[in-house]
Structure 1
């Protein structure tokens, strides 16, 4: 079994099983490394061989839950023009070894005992499935899941969801929305559900238009920022795996309208100080060079900060700036609400103030 030596470095994981969920969706069951931990709703970044670039990095949400020990599971839906999803569905078999980055992402409940209102469209069910299983098994709250698909044959995890609905009949309400029967799941048509459960914490994942419409509707209904969550990462460019060897739908969503970047403040001329906490441990570091991204500095100092793409295309490295100021070089995922809450991408953040305080527990 693989052992986690570098909490932020690449891992080579063996595929134990390939499960055909629907005609165009496959779940990859991977051997779980000893010592690896993750939160429900997070994702893995997979390395896919590419003749053009050597490697294509793609993020796929974990459909397994942390309490399901011994394995990790990601679910990949084939898309017509999706190079990575087609390669995975066509080539990955039991025994295949895949290079991945450790679990990342902030699409995860802060409290499994909370009441949750979940909206999923198509393969957006993947991280939601992880959250549902975790909250039902280890939480005490009530869950409502609205799951939209084209038709009955495209419903991923249909049997497992039915079993959970039957087992937790007093806590779990499952609503299937089939376009073939009910038409498009527009925000206006989903509004009555959100209105009835407006005290719940809302989570939304799915195709861009679906997610954008639902999130806008939640805002109109007055769901506060802290109770409104949407999955945020886009298809990645570049190679976040370094020199790691490559062997060898989905939860990937395009959020459409990220927050506009502010003009860069003047670059500092002297090193800064960063103070923060990660996984319950505090750190205080001097010597943050003005031209070095926060993530790079933290990693160089032995802080196992999370990351994935290192290009500003995902939220895996997101932290909250509680004091001080940073400037981001790029931002393709954080919206205006995120920025107002102090959320910043560590891989793109440069110091502006003398001292910056951050937290990864948000």
Structure 2
């Protein structure tokens, strides 16, 4: 097993609805620091597979990092989804799964900010973590629009009702049921958000729902820094393999690709010809290095220097390693998660970024 993942024992499995199960893990002694997390983050789990050995999937934490609650994810079955169905059908208390530490940037900058939350279906999972934590540690108002197919598919219905009753002056929950009201329209989402135009907005759910909600927020003039969208794709790579061997192979390939041209058909190397200066802000600390080798990915370089930079899939298929450029530029070798607006805002994936300028400054905040 690689040194970056942990074998976590399952303490409890709760059937939230007929299609959704919450899985509670026991954090091993000595790994408490690695599994400290922010509300809205996710875990990457390794689901056994006869065909591929491991199916790596990202599932959001529904639990809160405050109040002593246990580490819990919620998994909803998807049609034809091997991993989600395997988890819901097979996992029992006492079993174990290999898990990577928490990752993700779908988390409030301030728990005391007023929050406007849009959730569709299982998109409630990270939103639930944010709601629980904001009500416990923050002081702002929380307004939740929660869309589902019908009443039976509402995950955390009882918990949301309890929280709303306990915090009537701070939490407002609006349930939208397709079986009663039909699918919500962009105009209806815009009308709902209009009364909360100064709030920080978070959107998670099926693709069409998120697209409409974000479009509604844009129409209302929500600035980029107050619009947050959670994006997941099925991971094609295996972050649970022997990462050392993977890194060695990638570095050898990168080195070969950036050697001085020798063969007749070799083209010019991209990026700077000499080591690059890299400055990265992480958790309030600035790390600066003058020897970032061209062709080496930012995440690999930071790890080689002992910096505990966040990541999950290492394949450019999630947003766990995202940074925002402050100076200079990088080239991403692969990107399945950032859209044009993200890129225009300077957001890049550290696990796929190689330098193209002599100096690069970036921040994880």
SS of 1:297's equivalent in the other structure is helix
Does the alignment pair 1:349 with 2:347? no
**2:45/2:58 contact within 8 Å kept:** yes
**1:321/1:344 contact within 8 Å kept:** yes
SS of 2:21's equivalent in the other structure is strand
SS of 1:45's equivalent in the other structure is strand
SS of 1:219's equivalent in the other structure is helix
Does the alignment pair 1:19 with 2:14? yes
Residue in 1 aligned with 2:32? Answer: 34
**2:271/2:357 contact within 8 Å kept:** no
Residue in 1 aligned with 2:87? Answer: 88
Cα displacement (A) at 1:286 = 2.5
Provide the aligned C-alpha RMSD in A. Answer: 1.6
SS of 1:95's equivalent in the other structure is coil
| 1:275 to 1:24, Cα distance in 2 relative to 1, 3 A | same
Tell me, in whole angstroms, the C-alpha distance in 1 between the residues paired with 2:240 and 2:309: 15
Could you list the per-position Cα deviations for residues 285-339 of structure 1 after superposition, in whole angstroms to 9, with x for gaps in the alignment? 1221211111111111111111111111110000111111111111111122212
Cα displacement (A) at 1:265 = 9.4
The answer for unaligned runs of 5 or more in structure 1 is 245-263
Cα displacement (A) at 1:233 = 2.2
Residue in 2 aligned with 1:198? Answer: 197
Cα displacement (A) at 1:234 = 0.9
Residue in 2 aligned with 1:259? Answer: none
> Which one of 267, 272, 279 corresponds to residue 271 of structure 2?
267
The answer for unaligned runs of 5 or more in structure 2 is 244-267
Q: 1:240-259 alignment to 2 at 5 Å?
A: 240-243=239-242
Could you list the per-position Cα deviations for residues 77-105 of structure 1 after superposition, in whole angstroms to 9, with x for gaps in the alignment? 01121000011111111011111111101
**2:309/2:321 contact within 8 Å kept:** yes
SS of 2:213's equivalent in the other structure is helix
Tell me, in whole angstroms, the C-alpha distance in 1 between the residues paired with 2:294 and 2:178: 52
**2:63/2:69 contact within 8 Å kept:** no
Tell me, in whole angstroms, the C-alpha distance in 1 between the residues paired with 2:69 and 2:148: 31
Tell me, in whole angstroms, the C-alpha distance in 2 between the residues paired with 1:170 and 1:346: 41
Tell me, in whole angstroms, the C-alpha distance in 2 between the residues paired with 1:11 and 1:134: 25
Tell me, in whole angstroms, the C-alpha distance in 1 between the residues paired with 2:58 and 2:269: 32
- Comparing 344-353 and 279-288, the one that deviates more: 279-288
- Comparing 161-170 and 48-57, the one that deviates more: 48-57
Does the alignment pair 1:360 with 2:364? yes
Could you list the per-position Cα deviations for residues 102-130 of structure 1 after superposition, in whole angstroms to 9, with x for gaps in the alignment? 11011000011111110000000000000
Cα displacement (A) at 1:149 = 0.4
Does the alignment pair 1:308 with 2:312? yes
| 1:339 to 1:192, Cα distance in 2 relative to 1, 3 A | same
Tell me, in whole angstroms, the C-alpha distance in 1 between the residues paired with 2:115 and 2:39: 13
Residue in 1 aligned with 2:343? Answer: 339
**1:265/1:327 contact within 8 Å kept:** no
Cα displacement (A) at 1:340 = 2.0
| 1:179 to 1:265, Cα distance in 2 relative to 1, 3 A | farther
SS of 2:105's equivalent in the other structure is coil
TM-score after normalising by structure 1? 0.90
Residue in 1 aligned with 2:284? Answer: 280
**What is the aligned residue count?**
336
**2:10/2:25 contact within 8 Å kept:** yes
Larger radius of gyration: 2
Cα displacement (A) at 1:173 = 0.5
TM-score after normalising by structure 2? 0.89
Cα displacement (A) at 1:198 = 1.1
Cα displacement (A) at 1:70 = 5.6
Residue in 2 aligned with 1:183? Answer: 182
**1:31/1:70 contact within 8 Å kept:** no
Tell me, in whole angstroms, the C-alpha distance in 2 between the residues paired with 1:89 and 1:243: 28
- Comparing 156-165 and 267-276, the one that deviates more: 267-276
Cα displacement (A) at 1:280 = 2.2
Tell me, in whole angstroms, the C-alpha distance in 2 between the residues paired with 1:105 and 1:265: 33
Tell me, in whole angstroms, the C-alpha distance in 2 between the residues paired with 1:315 and 1:174: 28
